[in-house]
Structure 1
Amino acid sequence: MVRIGFISLPSRSPALLKCLTAVKYSCDVQEGVLCQCVVDSKFAKQQIQYYVNVGLKVNLKLGGVNHSIPAINFGTISPEKTMFVGLDVTHPSPGSASSAPSVPSIVSSVDRTLGQWPAAIRVQEARNEMITDLTELVQGQLRLWRSKNRTLPANLVLYRDGVSEGQYQTVLDDELPAIKKAISIIYSPAEVKQGVPRLSIIIVGKRHHTRFYPTKADDADKIGNLKHGLVVDRGVTNFCNWDFFLQAHSALYATAKSAHYYVIYDEVLRRLSSEQGQAGAADALEKMTHGLCYLFSRATSAVSICPPAYYADLVCERARCYLSQHFAPSSGSATPASESSGSASVSTAGREVALHDAIKHRMFYI
């Protein structure tokens, strides 16, 4: 049985954040109740758009699918045979307690509609960008896919967020072997020998200073940005490697910022090179990533970065609520105090982010 609760919070209250973190921790970790918080002043206005936005989140938490796009938008990559994965890590910010750990998260698709993205959370040593429990995390998501589809995916496409350009090689050295190890555990030796599943790892970059501007009025939208759907894969990209910029969204104001995608490892799209040439593989990846940007289930239009990376970032933010006594000690503790001084052990912090069994396979973080 699934339980969901609605909680109305006061607006503009100094205790709002403290109340919110306590509610999320209690529902997600302790009680196993899916909860949706609303601001009472906004809810009382009876605005249809506000109710619709809340309804989108509730439907996702209950296991529903808000919208989908035709499979043709993914080109030759079939969503039925492909598990899309998002990975991210959040680190202690200035003002955090010395006990604050780094928190990695993983999300993944579980069906062809790409409407549900269950997540998992771990903790690790502070300021370590490489995910130490990646083998276990990937195993868990593959088992979940198998439980939903009675088979395993033929392709794994990972969108890795939060990695700087100087850490690309570290991802290949540390995280790629961990992913391969998870594959070797879940898949049969015969499948692994045949190269199943094919794997691609794409770094999602948000912190860059590259901007694009229209040179003709016909190419601009109503506020002067380039129209959504812009792809730039030559001229300002890396000459020796495979990367591109994608502006999938329309900015509400100011200058739109494109997301930067950098392919550091590819087996999924490589086979297209022999069929359509390298340009065909690049077009397939760009079309697939653009299509994903329309599947962020909390919005009815395209978002700035693809949902796997976006969702993983949201999961990390939710984990910060559970560990508020470490990340925001001045705002009060939503979780029981673990250690009054010194560094909290990773195992102690791990218990504070251990999701209740009733919600761990649902989109509790939306």
Structure 2
Amino acid sequence: MAEKSFGIRTLCFSRKTLGRCWSNTLRDSAGKIRPLMPYMANIAMKVNLKFGGVNHEVEGLSGILGSTLLLGADVTHPGSGALDGVPSVAAVVGNIDASCGRFLGSMRLQSDKNVELIEDFQSMVEQRLVAYAEHNSDILLAKVIFYRDGVGDSQYEALRNREVAKIRQAYKILQLKYPKSESSVKVTAIVVAKRHDVRFFPKSQDSIPGNGNCKPGLLVDTGVTSPYYMDLYLQSHNGIKGTAKPAHYIVLEDEIGFSADDNHNLVSLSVVRMMLR
């Protein structure tokens, strides 16, 4: 209510948890006492983001990517126990700074909860393009890297023909309003897939002690990849429990012209390691 109706930024935390921090009785799952500072630092980072601050940056990323808009999109669907009529929700986020440390977002309700492609995608892309322009000299970015989550391999062509095309249409419409911008936009579209059964294991003892997972940063682009698309598997995290599951990145379209090494080093590794929190 405070944020939606009055524009007041809020952050809620548990009084019980904070009280335990002050009394040094807050314990983790292993029973060890958690000190106050990490908890307060986590709260401070959340407050900083809500007020437009930047918590993390990848050094040199702006020089690598240049003037590029990073878009991320996904659709979340109601669970099996949801009430009848509960809609799916689609969202698109995009950066508003060259270092990709600040992101704003748009969201829409889907009319059909069984549809994965985003219905009102173009208007949300227009909002993200305008948001960057308003923060950066009223110039639209002519390079867009589009990360899309949640689509299966049977939907790749539909995604390219519909959502990727909508990015170009959004730019074309706004270009008339921002005449200082380039005449056309170049789009690189990458699907991020998590629903797969591929796992990787270390061949030697060079693994994480305790769980035997490969170390974060593992990248595989041969042997188990697609013969039709440029793709890669990237394990950018440490699996705390069980076997770490890599993300599968599939490049559907690349008008910007990244090489395989560019996709590995300049985009996936850099951006994935900079989660906003």
When normalised by structure 2's length, the TM-score is: 0.87
The answer for the alignment partner of 1:183 in structure 2 is: 171
Identity %: 33
Q: Which runs of 4+ in 1 moved over 3 A?
A: 73-76, 188-191
> Given that residues 168 and 185 in structure 2 are in contact (C-alpha distance below 8 angstroms), is that contact kept between their aligned partners in structure 1?
no
Secondary structure of 1:264's match?
Answer: strand
Secondary structure of 1:34's match?
Answer: coil
Q: Distance in 2 between matches of 1:189 and 1:199?
A: 20
Q: Extract unaligned runs of 5+ from structure 2.
A: 23-35
Relative to structure 1, is the Cα distance of residues 261 and 195 closer, same or farther in structure 2, using a 3 angstrom cutoff?
farther
> Given that residues 155 and 196 in structure 1 are in contact (C-alpha distance below 8 angstroms), is that contact kept between their aligned partners in structure 2?
no
The answer for the alignment partner of 1:201 in structure 2 is: 189
The answer for the alignment partner of 1:144 in structure 2 is: 131
Q: Extract unaligned runs of 5+ from structure 1.
A: 1-25, 273-280, 299-366
The answer for the alignment partner of 2:268 in structure 1 is: 289
1:88 corresponds to 2:74: yes
Residue 56 of structure 1 deviates from its aligned partner by 0.7
The answer for the alignment partner of 2:30 in structure 1 is: none
> Given that residues 62 and 100 in structure 2 are in contact (C-alpha distance below 8 angstroms), is that contact kept between their aligned partners in structure 1?
no
1:42 corresponds to 2:17: yes
1:53 corresponds to 2:42: yes
Give runs of aligned pairs for residues 237-248 of structure 1, distance below 5 A: 237-248=225-236
Counterpart residue type for residue 80 of structure 2: P
1:258 corresponds to 2:246: yes
The answer for the alignment partner of 2:218 in structure 1 is: 230
> Given that residues 101 and 127 in structure 1 are in contact (C-alpha distance below 8 angstroms), is that contact kept between their aligned partners in structure 2?
no
Q: Distance in 2 between matches of 1:247 and 1:186?
A: 37
> Given that residues 75 and 284 in structure 1 are in contact (C-alpha distance below 8 angstroms), is that contact kept between their aligned partners in structure 2?
no
Number of equivalenced pairs = 258
Residue 76 of structure 1 deviates from its aligned partner by 4.2
Q: Distance in 1 between matches of 2:103 and 2:178?
A: 29
Normalized per residue, the structure richer in helix is: 1
Relative to structure 1, is the Cα distance of residues 146 and 189 closer, same or farther in structure 2, using a 3 angstrom cutoff?
closer
Residue 212 of structure 1 deviates from its aligned partner by 0.1
Relative to structure 1, is the Cα distance of residues 149 and 54 closer, same or farther in structure 2, using a 3 angstrom cutoff?
same
Deviations 1:65-91 (A, max 9, x none): 1121212x578422xx00101101111
Q: Which has the higher contact order (CA 8 A, sep 6+)?
A: 1
Counterpart residue type for residue 138 of structure 1: V
1:99 corresponds to 2:85: yes
Relative to structure 1, is the Cα distance of residues 75 and 214 closer, same or farther in structure 2, using a 3 angstrom cutoff?
farther
> Given that residues 118 and 163 in structure 2 are in contact (C-alpha distance below 8 angstroms), is that contact kept between their aligned partners in structure 1?
yes
Residue 296 of structure 1 deviates from its aligned partner by 1.0
Aligned with residue 69 of structure 1, among 41, 54, 58: 58
Relative to structure 1, is the Cα distance of residues 144 and 189 closer, same or farther in structure 2, using a 3 angstrom cutoff?
closer
Secondary structure of 2:93's match?
Answer: strand
Residue 131 of structure 1 deviates from its aligned partner by 0.9
The answer for the alignment partner of 1:112 in structure 2 is: 98
The answer for the alignment partner of 2:114 in structure 1 is: 127
Residue 252 of structure 1 deviates from its aligned partner by 2.3
